[in-house]
Structure 1
Amino acid sequence: MGQKVNPIGFRLGVNRDWRSRWYASPQEMPGFLHSDIEIRDYVKKKLLFAAVSKIVIERAWNSIRVTIFTARPGIVIGRKGAEIEKMTEEISKMAQGKQIKIDIQEIKTPELDAQLVAENVALQIERRIAYRRAMKK
C-alpha cells in the first residue's frame, strides 16, 4: 500500500501557490503560523457574507500585507473604506503593532472558483433547498 500524500502540498508550486508568503527562523515560525491562523479566522468571521475565496498573507521585516480575494469587493471595502480601516486596526492589534496593508482582489468569475461554489452549495443546503437542485445551480 502506498503512502498518503497531502493534495495541497503535492500541488504547491505546480498549479497552486502558497497561502502564506514569508520566511522565518525556526524560533519565529510557530508564532508567525499562529498569527496567520488568527488573522485568517478573524477575516473569515468578519467577512462571512462577502464571498471570500482565499486570503494570502505576506510578511516583511515590520509589515504584513493581507490580500483578500473576494467576489464582492464592495462589501469588504464598505462605505468610503470604513470597513477596511476597522479591519486594519483590529489586525494591527493582533500583530503587535506591525504595519498592516490590506489589498482587495476581485474575482471576476466566481462561478469558476471552487471555494465559492462549495460555500454557495453549502449555504443552499443549510436553507433546506434540495441538494440535487443546489448542485445543478
Structure 2
Amino acid sequence: MGNKIHPKSVRLGYIQDWESKWFSLRDMPALIGEDYKIRQLVRERFRLAAVSWVGIERAGSYLHVHIHTARPGVVIGKRGADIEAIKKQIEAMTKRTTVISPKEIKEPELDARLVAEAIAMQLERRIAHRRAVKRAIERTMAAGALGIKVEVKGRVGGAEIARREWMREGRVPLHTFSADIDYGQIEANTTSGTIGVKVWIYRKQFFSRTPKELIQQAKEEGVEIAAVAAPLAAQAAAVPAAAQPPAAAPAPEVKPEP
C-alpha cells in the first residue's frame, strides 16, 4: 500500500514534523478551519513567490505564521509593505496577535511542491510535458537527490482521452520509513483541461548505517579504513558490560578412566 498513502502521513513524528503546532480539545474543528483559511490566503496573495508550505504555531492569544518560500523578497515586499498587509488580514480573521516569519528555502530543486509547481507552469505555457518533466528530473538529481518520481495525469498533450504518464530516476523507497521522501501535488489549468502533477523526491536516508556499509563507502571514496574503524571500535568499547553477550563457559575437563 506504499503507493496509495500520503508519504508524509506515515513519517509524521518519526522523521518529519507537523505543519501546525498547537493543541486544543474544545476548539479543534474551528482552529483547523482557521489554519486552512490562513494557508489559502497566503498562497493566493503570494502566488508568484514560490511558497512551499506554511507552518502555524499558536500559544495563548499569539499566532506565529512561518512562510517557507524560495523568494522571500517577494513575500516581504517593498519596505515590508506586503507582509504587513497580510498580517493585518490574518489578525482581523483570527483576532490574535500575529507574527509572520518568511523563511528561505535554500534548495528549491529538492522541494517536491516547488518542482511540481514549476512543471505545472510549463504545462500551462504549452511546453511539451515530457520535456518539462525531464528537465525537472535533471535539475533535482543534479541538486543531490537520491531519487525522484514525477506523474502527470489528464488530457496530456491535448489528447482526447485522459491518461497517466510517469517518469522515475534513482530510488523512491516509499515503504522505508527512515527515507526522507518529500511529496507535492498541484493542478495545471491548461486549454485542454486540468492536468494533475505529482512529485516524489527521495532526499536522504536517516539514521546510521551498518559498519559494513560504512567501510564499503569509505573504500569507494578512497578514505583510509583506519579512519573509519577507529570510531567504530570506540563505540563498541563504550557499550556497557551488561549489554555485551556473556562469555562462553569453558569446556569441562574429561579425565581418562584408569
Same fold (TM over 0.5): yes
- Distance in 1 between residues matched to 2:97 and 2:46, nearest whole Å: 21
- Distance in 2 between residues matched to 1:130 and 1:78, nearest whole Å: 34
Question: What is the 5 A alignment of 1:78-117?
Answer: 78-96=77-95, 98-117=96-115
Q: Which has the higher contact order (CA 8 A, sep 6+)?
A: 1
The unaligned stretches of length 5 or more in structure 1 are: none
Query: Displacement of 1:136 after TM fit?
Result: 1.9
Indicate the larger mover: 54-63 or 5-14.
5-14
Query: Displacement of 1:15 after TM fit?
Result: 2.5
Three-state SS of the structure 2 residue aligned to 1:100 is strand
Amino acid corresponding to residue 117 of structure 1 in structure 2: V
Richer in strand (by share): 2
Amino acid corresponding to residue 62 of structure 2 in structure 1: S
- With over 3 angstroms needed to count, the CA separation of the structure-2 counterparts of 1:118 and 1:18, relative to structure 1, is same
Amino acid corresponding to residue 22 of structure 2 in structure 1: W
Query: Displacement of 1:40 after TM fit?
Result: 0.5
Amino acid corresponding to residue 65 of structure 2 in structure 1: V
Instruction: Provide the residue aligned with 1:64 in structure 2.
Output: 63
- Distance in 2 between residues matched to 1:43 and 1:6, nearest whole Å: 23
Instruction: Provide the residue aligned with 1:14 in structure 2.
Output: 14
- Distance in 2 between residues matched to 1:66 and 1:32, nearest whole Å: 14
Higher gyration radius (CA): 2
Instruction: Provide the residue aligned with 2:24 in structure 1.
Output: 24
- Distance in 2 between residues matched to 1:110 and 1:100, nearest whole Å: 27
- Distance in 2 between residues matched to 1:48 and 1:39, nearest whole Å: 14
RMSD of aligned alpha carbons: 1.4
The unaligned stretches of length 5 or more in structure 2 are: 136-258
- Distance in 1 between residues matched to 2:6 and 2:75, nearest whole Å: 32
Query: Displacement of 1:31 after TM fit?
Result: 0.8
Instruction: Provide the residue aligned with 2:121 in structure 1.
Output: 123
Instruction: Provide the residue aligned with 2:185 in structure 1.
Output: none
- Give deviations 1:66-117, integer Å, cap 9, x for gaps: 0000000110000000001001000001102x10000010011111111100
Richer in helix (by share): 1
Q: Which runs of 4+ in 1 moved over 6 A?
A: none
Q: TM-score, normalised by structure 1?
A: 0.92
Instruction: Provide the residue aligned with 1:55 in structure 2.
Output: 54
User: How many residues are aligned here?
Assistant: 133
Give me the identity figure in percent. 48
- Distance in 1 between residues matched to 2:118 and 2:17, nearest whole Å: 23
Q: TM-score, normalised by structure 2?
A: 0.50
- Distance in 2 between residues matched to 1:136 and 1:80, nearest whole Å: 39
- Distance in 2 between residues matched to 1:104 and 1:29, nearest whole Å: 26
Three-state SS of the structure 1 residue aligned to 2:9 is helix
Query: Displacement of 1:6 after TM fit?
Result: 4.6
